[in-house]
Structure 1
């Protein structure tokens, strides 16, 4: 293992999300995970116990540890994405408990967009249902590296192995048809704690890991040298002092890969070339830096570089383009339609864009079947979009980079986030064509 990878492994962080149908027990699982891993503060547990007693429950309702909104507590469902941080001696975790209702599918997209693992819950009594397939499809579209199938409420299925085996086989086959690379199936009872943190004596037929054991041992990230370096510029540093009058640094967070002093680089979208003269990390000069470190890069040449530009190795620099073809997850109640004027935010750069075409909508309940020319994408819809931007953008394919291959569409009138996009070629090229000149300045 390289020195860089060893440093990353020493402080490994796993981001994961939970998903599943309503009442499958997502919040209870997360609460059990926090409780049994000793990650709940005493006053938090006391508040949950008090609230449970007021409801007439003798045992604490661990779902209350994550259902923080008043509407969630009143209805007993999850509406918003609840983020929680906890740690064990082996690893640190950031979890996102996402909603199960169909109308909140967009919230799963938000919670799983940065996840390296998704836990999909299934009620052992109901098996794989429509919403289970929808969540598996979203995980596949977002290219989440690891998927865990947690067959919950095994206590209500008499801890029967055949019940678990049938569900695991059906889900694994469906996930494989979507291109999900890996599924780990675990039988659990979140309410009783079976196979969540400690192995279950009532399911001795199961010899695999518990949920926590799998979370602690699943491979996290990858060697940063495996990905091309991408450095979005966030800020240009020009100290106004006599001592540093010639200092010109470009600050930001490395999105992927490794930067080294002496590397030939290209600044995009301008295409200007130079060499990395120095790298500052935490105020100290270093010879090498890797994702996701925040650093300041100095170039050998005095170039016109500003916020929103991307610095990349010359030999692997992406070709800037104004024609964007992507898969879009629409998040807002206002539909996305052909001809809409939007702002496209990619990394640290925001440009004007026009929706040129909506080739198809994806039917998540039928294995990603395509519905041609839907006319619009409504809230929670996922489909293909063709955009034309006012300025060129250095885009990577989402399959190659989840960071530099993704973008947001924003309402230019009020700044509302409308759509999440993933650059790719999952659909045929659009007709293209020139865009007419508008009186409002949208000329591209």
Structure 2
């Protein structure tokens, strides 16, 4: 890994992949085709891109039970415990509707209502992600969403992975369909003969999935446009180089475009971590992916002071941030921009990916400056409630009418004055 000194001219930002014009055009064509031709288009693109003919898009209850039955009891128990941890964390995020009444009898309030239907995209391809299933479905269940639809690209045998299906069953999914890519997003957004449309689509995917979510936004809600995974480790000389290197590689193996950055006040740690990354990289099963990620997006940045390092982290606004320093809690208090913050050497990023409970669907590409992790609020909407009393109306009618006329909206003013008579 390249070691650099932090200077005012060194930018830690990476370019955002917004897709090529050809990719955007391909996604638009797929969406239009699915809107027009429904299931036939979905099946056609599934055969074209996934190399498999799927006779039934819906995963039957028998398929689901058979897949779950193939998993060892230990794996099922781990998935169940992770689901319980995720549920308990998200239950603490729940909000209640509320009302307040003043001395005139006016009642104001807010009504919390879960979304009717949510679509969850779960990536397939080179790896299966039961953790992604849990992280997207559990907060929707806690929020009270009644219909939760999962889509995922099928394997070459036309099935979905057993761990993914087991996680879906444990999480409480309503329907599962064997379809992925832009065609899956289009089906969720607009509906087909088999797949009824939803109100919101969540979950990560490749560039075509991301572009499709961008295209359908407005007709449905989406969670975010997720970029490649990122980790920043903020460390001083107390950190252990082998552990830091392992954590950097834990993100690098996700994707050749994943970003792994060490920001440190210790030149010695920088050198040791660079050496450790090379040693550990050689032993990884996904070393080709991880090596490409480290070569293109791996960085070690040495800062003159902890304050300078903290400023660098806030500028980067990473998806995942590990703090391995003295007085780590005090350092954490100075972090303003990060998707998830892991404190201390035993809070390795995979703890959050799988088991601790907080959501691992996090803002990427610096959007942690203004975005939050996926949470219960993402699956609910809020309605304002206004029941104005006659006393309050008569006290304020002239002011309301005057405000309307200040904006040039005479009919608004007359709607108020009609009640004064």
TM-score range, shorter chain: under 0.3
Higher helix proportion: 2
| Structure-1-length-normalised TM-score | 0.23
Look at both structures and tell me which one has the larger radius of gyration over its CA atoms.
2
Higher strand proportion: 1
Q: Which has the higher contact order (CA 8 A, sep 6+)?
A: 2
| Structure-2-length-normalised TM-score | 0.24
